[in-house]
């Protein structure tokens, strides 16, 4: 069975494809051993493994030294290019900067920047120094930044002048933060940096251009991304250098990257897709990639594909739906003939979008599935395989997915259940920072429990059904309701807040808040606007509620827990289910 009324999209014969796929799925999956992928990496001279070495240095030290690694276009039209050799030298310099200020192996260094070249150079420098890199989404407000820096105990923050000013008030609360390094690219910002801050440009000019990479093993920590849950603050999912093995492999398999590709991943490095597939997968495969600093605009995106002759394009379902909304006439104005493979991730890709890709570009968007915690793609639609619109595809070689019931027993083919993964894949996260108990709770009876519901059909294609918890997926950003509720109740007028995800045709879900007011406050449009402004300043426009509804009181259990499922059921006109634990008015 399938769960889509759209017919399967048949792939042409390999001889008719522009490029023969890297992967023969049935052949490789049946005889796969991860040691093969370990053997395709170079490893450090001392036998260790380091992400930056595999992504940059091994190419810079060989025949690809002068090959373009990064083609960058700024939001104002600026253009820069960097070879693998230049990337090595610049990341070596930044590793020396960190060494000069006392950063040691295992220290946390966070990056709060727009998509400028210095962001990528900085992260590779952090990894070379043996420190743990913590990328932050540049649209974050001060509260998310504070939560993450406090929890991680970050010693260094690398940022830009405008973002530095946005978080100035929280800096005194970050007791472990020792240095702030400010990147003022091309002196864009005329305001001088504070005397307590370091100038990125000045420190880089002083730093030697060569660095002996700190000996890291495959088990040493490398990158930390924060992920939201139903309760509590976001948790830092920590990955090891070992993850690069799977990022390299899935770049070949799931994105079908070849050495002569021009690749464009539209994800921001503040999210895991932007590091795993906006940095590590393409560059470990020696691929040239385009990085665009600006935001979404349909005509501009098509122009970028045309001008840079992009061959492999990895983007988000929300962006695809926005392109669909813009219409089919716009792409016809541009030359899209360079494209040969389209992929999507971040949220389920609806079947209409897969078919739209086939109609407009002559090829479907290939959906795939993974999470912050998994570190890399675990399930995908491949270049070598027919696409069933709406399906997340089949597991990658070396990974076992299962659909289990609440007692962790397999459910019959075609039935909904909990999506689970057998632990041990190379990019599996190793802990939640300072929260081992939460980490351990994710592993049950020999499975990692993803928190997603899915089903599998008789042919082995997996189909996403939904989240098993209250986490909201808005435009690919996972938003924990607790974090939003915590910010809302800091507003002087708000007594209580409950947050849900409301279905949306473009963003999949939007954040909607139900708010009860303190005595003396009146529910007016002016107050609603003020609460909206307040939440956006504290969180970010991507996380803050898009809708706010005033209600007299929130439904709660007798123990005082807000019943978000009741709020959602009432909003959508669905059955309320069991209300036996609901407190009496």
Q: What is the pLDDT of residue 578?
A: 57
Coil, helix or strand at residue 71 = strand
Helix 351-361 and helix 317-326, axial crossing angle in degrees, nearest 10:
60
- Residue where the block lists tokens 């949306």: 504
Comparing 172-186, 202-216, 465-479, the range with the smallest average pLDDT is 465-479
Is 70 exceeded by the pLDDT of residue 3? Answer: no
The whole-number pLDDT of residue 251 equals 98
**Residue pair 97/131 in contact by the 8 Å Cβ criterion:** no
Classify residue 278 by its DSSP letter. Answer: I
pLDDT band at 348 (very low <50, low <70, confident <90, very high): confident
The CA distance from 132 to 103, in Å, is 10
Q: What pLDDT, on the 0 to 100 scale, is given for residue 233?
A: 84
pLDDT band, very low/low/confident/very high, at 514 (cuts 50, 70, 90): very high
How far apart are alpha carbons 401 and 407 in whole angstroms? 16
**d(Cα 559, Cα 581) in Å, to the nearest integer?**
9
Q: At what angle do helices 142-152 and 525-538 cross, to 10 degrees?
A: 30
| pLDDT(490) > 90 | no
Asked whether the predicted pLDDT for residue 470 surpasses 90, the reply is no
Asked if 499 contacts 564 with a C-beta cutoff of 8 angstroms, the reply is yes
Give the model's pLDDT for residue 4.
63
188-192, 201-205, 231-235 — which is least confidently predicted? 231-235
Q: Which two tokens stand for residue 299?
A: 């005509």
Residue 385 to residue 254: CA distance in whole angstroms? 11
| Percent of the residues in the chain that have a pLDDT greater than 70, as a whole number | 96
Write out pLDDT tens, residues 75-86.
999 999 999 999
pLDDT-based confidence at 1, cuts 50/70/90?
A: very low
Q: Which residues contact 117 (CB under 8 A, 6 or more apart)?
A: 70, 72, 80, 82, 291
C-alpha 424/C-alpha 429 separation (Å) is 10
Residue reference for tokens 């889509």: 4
Q: Mean pLDDT, to the nearest integer, of 247-253? A: 98
Kindly provide the b/e burial profile for residues 132-149, where b requires at least 16 CB atoms within 10 angstroms of the residue's own CB. Answer: bbbbbbbbbbbbbbbbbb
Residue 476: helix, strand or coil by DSSP? Answer: coil
What does the pLDDT average to over 418-423?
97
Q: Report in angstroms the alpha-carbon separations of 511 from 103, 467, 567.
A: 39, 15, 13
- Asked if the model's pLDDT at residue 557 lies above 80, the reply is no
Report whether pLDDT(364) > 90: yes
Is 305 within 8 Å of 337 (Cβ atoms)? no
Looking up tokens 């098993």 gives 468
Q: What pLDDT does 531 receive?
A: 96
Report the distance separating Cα 536 and Cα 141, nearest Å. 7
Detail the DSSP E strand segments found in 396-545. 401-404, 417-421, 431-432, 443-444, 447-456, 462-467, 472-474, 477-479, 494-504, 508-517
30 pLDDT higher than 80: yes
Q: How far apart are CA 316 and CA 143, in angstroms?
A: 26
As a CATH number, domain 14-453 is 3.40.50.12780
Q: How far apart are CA 499 and CA 482, in angstroms?
A: 8
Return the ∠ at Cα 371 (arms to 246 and 411), rounded to 5°: 100
Q: Is the pLDDT of residue 249 over 60?
A: yes
**What confidence score (pLDDT) does residue 554 get?**
85
Quick one: pLDDT band at residue 572, thresholds 50, 70, 90? confident
User: pLDDT (tens digit, 9 = 90+) per residue, 441-463?
Assistant: 999 999 999 999 999 999 999 99
Contacts of 524 (CB under 8 A, 6+ apart): none
Residue that has been written with the tokens 């997915």 in this structure: 401
CA dihedral of residues 329, 332, 338, 340 (deg, nearest 10)? 50
pLDDT score of 553: 87
CB burial class (10 A; 0-12, 13-18, 19+) of residue 307?
A: middle
Per-residue pLDDT at 188 exceeds 90: no
Q: Name the nearest CA neighbour of 531 among 500, 474, 485.
A: 485
Please give the pLDDT value at position 585.
47
Whole-angstrom CA distances from 269 to 172, 223, 477 are 26, 11, 13
SS3 (DSSP) at 434: coil
Residues 304-321: tens digit of each pLDDT? 999 999 999 999 988 998
205 or 482: which leads in pLDDT: 205
Torsion angle of C-alpha atoms 531, 536, 541, 542, degrees rounded to 10: -90
Q: Helix, strand, or coil here: 289?
A: strand
Position 163 pLDDT exceeds 70: yes
| pLDDT at residue 24 tops 50 | yes
Q: Is the dihedral of CA 427, 430, 435, 439 positive or negative?
A: positive
Q: What is the mean pLDDT of residues 255-276?
A: 97
Provide φ and ψ at 288, rounded to 5°: -80, 130
Least confident of 142-151, 390-399, 493-502: 493-502
DSSP string, 104-118: -TT-EEEEE--S-HH
All structural domains of the chain with their residue ranges: 14-453, 472-572
Cα–Cα distance, 207 to 220 (Å, whole number): 25
Q: Which CATH number fits domain 472-572: 3.30.70.260, 3.90.1200.10, 3.30.300.30, 3.40.50.720?
A: 3.30.300.30
526, containing H or E segment: helix 525-538
Q: Does residue 483 carry a pLDDT above 90?
A: no
For residue 2, pLDDT beyond 50: no
Under DSSP, the state recorded for 562 is: B
Over residues 475-499, mean pLDDT: 86
Supply 514's token pair.
Answer: 């139900």
- As given in the structure block, the two tokens for residue 325 are 């909304």
Token readout for 57 is: 């240095």
Mean pLDDT of the chain: 93
Mean pLDDT of 497-515: 91
Distance CA 17, CA 130 (A): 42
Mean pLDDT over 376-388 rounds to: 97
- pLDDT, mean of residues 228-253: 92
> Nearest CA to 290 among 271, 272, 270, 313?
313
């Amino acid at each position: 069975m399938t769960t889509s009324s759209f017919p399967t999209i048949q792939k042409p014969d390999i001889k008719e494809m522009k490029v023969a796929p890297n992967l023969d799925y049935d052949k490789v999956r049946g005889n796969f051993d991860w040691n093969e992928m370990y053997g395709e990496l170079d490893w450090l001279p001392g036998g260790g493994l380091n992400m930056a070495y595999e992504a940059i240095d091994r190419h810079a030290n060989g025949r690809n030294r002068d090959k373009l690694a990064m083609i960058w276009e700024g939001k104002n039209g600026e253009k820069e290019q960097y070879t693998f050799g230049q990337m090595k030298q610049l990341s070596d310099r930044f590793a020396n900067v960190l060494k000069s200020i006392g950063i040691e192996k295992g220290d946390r260094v966070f990056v709060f920047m727009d998509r400028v070249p210095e962001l990528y150079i900085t992260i590779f420098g952090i990894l070379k120094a043996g420190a743990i890199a913590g990328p932050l989404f540049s649209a974050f407000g001060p509260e998310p930044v504070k939560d993450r820096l406090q929890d991680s105990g970050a010693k260094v923050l690398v940022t830009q002048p405008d973002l530095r000013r946005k978080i100035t008030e929280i800096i005194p609360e970050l007791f472990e933060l020792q240095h702030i390094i400010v990147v003022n690219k091309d002196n864009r910002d005329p305001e001088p940096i504070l005397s307590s801050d370091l100038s990125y440009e000045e420190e880089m000019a002083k730093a030697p251009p060569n660095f002996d990479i700190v000996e890291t093993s495959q088990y040493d920590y490398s990158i930390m991304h924060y992920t939201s849950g139903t309760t509590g603050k976001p948790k830092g999912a920590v990955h090891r250098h070992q993850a690069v093995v799977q990022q390299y492999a899935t770049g070949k398999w799931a994105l079908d990257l070849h050495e002569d590709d021009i690749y464009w991943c539209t994800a921001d490095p503040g999210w895991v897709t932007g590091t795993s597939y906006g940095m590590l997968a393409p560059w470990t495969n020696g691929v040239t990639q385009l990085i665009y600093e600006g935001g979404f605009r349909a005509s501009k995106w098509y122009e970028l594909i045309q001008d840079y002759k992009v061959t492999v394009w990895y983007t988000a379902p929300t962006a695809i739906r926005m392109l669909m909304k813009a219409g089919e006439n716009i792409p016809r104005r541009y030359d899209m003939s360079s494209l040969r493979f389209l992929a999507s991730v971040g949220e389920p890709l609806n079947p209409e979008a897969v078919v739209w890709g086939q109609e407009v570009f002559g090829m479907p968007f290939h959906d795939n599935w993974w999470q912050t915690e998994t570190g890399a793609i675990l399930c995908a639609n491949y270049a070598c395989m027919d696409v069933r619109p709406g399906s997340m595809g089949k597991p990658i070689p070396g990974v076992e997915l299962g659909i289990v019931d609440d007692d962790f027993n397999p459910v019959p083919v075609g039935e909904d259940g909990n999506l689970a993964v057998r632990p041990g894949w190379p990019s599996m996260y190793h802990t939640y920072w300072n929260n081992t108990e939460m980490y351990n709770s994710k592993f049950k009876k020999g499975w990692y429990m993803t928190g997603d519901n899915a089903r599998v059909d008789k042919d082995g294609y997996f189909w996403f059904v939904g989240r098993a918890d209250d986490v909201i997926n808005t435009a690919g950003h996972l938003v924990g309701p607790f974090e939003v509720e915590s910010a809302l109740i800091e507003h002087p007028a708000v007594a209580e807040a409950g947050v849900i995800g409301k279905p949306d045709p473009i963003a999949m879900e939007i954040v909607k808040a139900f708010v009860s007011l303190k005595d003396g406050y009146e529910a007016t449009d002016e107050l609603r606007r003020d609460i909206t402004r307040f939440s956006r300043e504290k969180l970010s426009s991507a996380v803050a509620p898009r809708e706010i509804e005033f209600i007299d009181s929130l439904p709660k259990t007798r123990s005082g827990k807000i019943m978000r499922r009741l709020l959602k059921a009432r909003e959508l006109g669905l059955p309320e289910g069991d209300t036996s634990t609901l407190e009496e008015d």
